[in-house]
Amino acid sequence: MISLDLLFEAVLFGILLGCFYAAVSLGLSVAFGLLDVPYVAHPALLILGSYFTFLLSKTGIDPIICGLLLMPVFYVIGIALYRFYYETFERRSSDTGVRGLAFFFGIAFIIEVCLILVFGVDQRTVSATYIGSSLEIGEYRFPYRMLVAFGIAIFLTTLLTLYFSKTFNGRAIKAVGQDEGALRLMGANPVKIKQLAFGIATAVNALAGAMLIIVGPVEPAMDRIYIGRTFCVVVLAGLGSMSGTLVAGLILGIAESIVMMTLGASWAPAVSFGLLLLMLGIRPQGLFGR
């Protein structure tokens, strides 16, 4: 039925797709994986990033640049969001469980509906020289947009990995997840650190959003499917591991790509969610989790 080289092609494309999934999940991997904030609004902010990129790129700026330009804006949004979350829930420790979740779910929902009100339900696209054409290597053709995504993914992952291992704040962020007390001993204020981390997580989302709209058209309700993809990757990776996130992304990407070619695309949405359920059922601590 399905030829080997087609399968091989599926895997190749799956790798590109996988890096892309990893990149869109990095922010969540920090916010949820490291800080343990029930950040279900992450995919919504991802889409928001795409739409901002869409607006900016109308001025003729290249979408990637747009993404980079948006990062500081999103950094601030992230800080504000965490501040608010901290003041209203974490500090009062009024069960962050239900209210925190409901809060972020509500935020995600509001973002989505507002996008619909402003842009309508039609898909939006950006144009750039590297969109719509592809790199030919012998039999195979690789869309440049996917290669771009691949590049961004690798860039972001290495950047964050380095940041978390090399810098003081980076290590502090890694620590805050495990033990706030120890962090206080290190002479760092956990809330400040978390705030910083959350800012970074959201800033990363801006570039990821730009990448999302480069890879394909976006529409407001798209965050829903990405709840599955991002959380699947983060859980698969084991909370808070950046390199793990990349690997997990690859697993998801290849799995989806192969399913699309064999079972057919109509089963694609179930892949990420299915994988997620499976993980939660058999190994919630993730592949690389403690």
Question: For binding to other proteins (CB under 8 A), which residues are involved?
Answer: 3, 6, 9-10, 13, 17, 32, 38, 40, 88, 94-95, 97-99, 101-103, 105-107, 109-110, 113-114, 116-117, 120-123, 125, 131-134, 141, 143, 146, 215-219, 221-222, 224-225, 227-228, 231, 235, 257, 260-261, 264-270, 273-274, 276-277, 280-281, 284, 290
Q: How far is the CB of 262 from other proteins (least distance, A)?
A: 9
The pair of three-digit structure tokens given for residue 98, joined into one six-digit string: 């239900």
Q: Which is nearer to other proteins, 71 or 229 (CB)?
A: 229
Rounded Cα distance between 280 and 290, Å, is 15
Instruction: Identify the burial level of 12 via C-beta atoms within 10 angstroms of its C-beta, where 0-12 means exposed, 13-18 middle and 19 or more buried.
Output: middle
Q: How far is the CB of 100 from other proteins (least distance, A)?
A: 9
Q: Which is nearer to other proteins, 102 or 162 (CB)?
A: 102
Q: Which is nearer to other proteins, 13 or 75 (CB)?
A: 13
Q: Which is nearer to other proteins, 134 or 169 (CB)?
A: 134
Q: Which is nearer to other proteins, 28 or 246 (CB)?
A: 28
Q: How far is the CB of 14 from other proteins (least distance, A)?
A: 9
Closest by CA to 23, choosing from 151, 145, 174, 194, is: 151
Q: How far is the CB of 250 from other proteins (least distance, A)?
A: 16
Q: How far is the CB of 159 from other proteins (least distance, A)?
A: 25
Cβ–Cβ under 8 Å, residues 244 and 286: yes
Q: Which is nearer to other proteins, 71 or 238 (CB)?
A: 238
Q: How far is the CB of 141 from other proteins (least distance, A)?
A: 5
